[in-house]
Amino acid sequence: MSRFSRGGVVVTPLLDLCLQCLTRNISRYAADLKTLPPNIKDKLMKSLSIQGRITDSNISTMLHSAVEALDLRDCDISDSALHQLCRCKHLKKINLSVWKENRPTITSEGVAALALSCRSLREASFKRCSNLTDHGVLTLALNCPLLQIVNIGGCTSITDASLQALGQNCRFLHSVDFSSTQVTDDGVIALASGMCSSNLKEVHMERCVKLTDVAVEAVLTYCPKMYILLFHGCPLITDRSREALEQMVRPDKFKQVSWTVY
């Protein structure tokens, strides 16, 4: 954090200057990073993550047992990096989502390794990790019962099996994105009526071409706390869902709802 002298001159703390130097010359000092204290590693990791400079080859030098959050959205990593998280037993949040192109380098193998090592996960985001399949989500659901937020939108191989696993094992789940996947009404019913039904508040199921009005009605029926429900771009959903919204939900209950009329 910058400080100001009495003369109004900005003075950058020595620690920040050192971190800036490390960031600019990370490859030169890679061998020295392992000995840094955890709080310094956290600052360095955050800075490099924002710049998209965390890789499979350098992530291990900045990890430590007390890491709780990793934001790797802008970093070019693969399953190899996830295998290196085995020491991060207290990891609660990981974000591997991408928004423009797919990320094929993260697969179910890596996600399964993550789930087996980091059982305290609360938030796991894998949007557009195109090679993630039901196997990875099943392992995640079975081993991370404290999950609250899951994003598997754009993981086009995901089917009902993933939603069934989340519904059966993740009691605290309150936000889930499975947009642009292969799920059907059966999967949505299993999720909405599962052990997380009383906690679910936010569901993104837009652009799921196999869903019908039955899926929307299931969410409205089983999830009393729901306040964000997105189901636009689902060609089999009709005006019947809009009518269900009007009949089953108070006008002021939802913060956001979207659908497409075909």
Q: Which of 3-12, 39-48, 76-85 has the highest mean pLDDT?
A: 76-85
State mean pLDDT over 94-113.
96
Give 125-159 pLDDT, tens digit per residue: 999 999 999 999 999 999 999 999 999 999 999 99
Written as six digits, the tokens of 102 are 């797919």
- Here the contacts of 257-261 (C-beta below 8 Å, separation 24 or greater) are 257/228, 257/229, 257/230, 258/206, 258/230, 258/231, 258/232, 259/216, 259/231, 259/232, 259/234, 260/232, 260/233, 260/234, 260/235
Give residue for tokens 């799920």. 183
Q: Where are the alpha helices (DSSP H) in 118-251?
A: 134-143, 160-169, 185-192, 213-222, 239-248
Give 74-99 pLDDT, tens digit per residue: 999 999 999 999 999 999 999 999 98
Question: How many Cβ atoms are within 10 Å of 105's Cβ, its own excluded?
Answer: 17
Written as six digits, the tokens of 61 are 């030098």
The residue among 258 and 135 whose pLDDT is bigger is 135
Written as six digits, the tokens of 250 are 């108070």
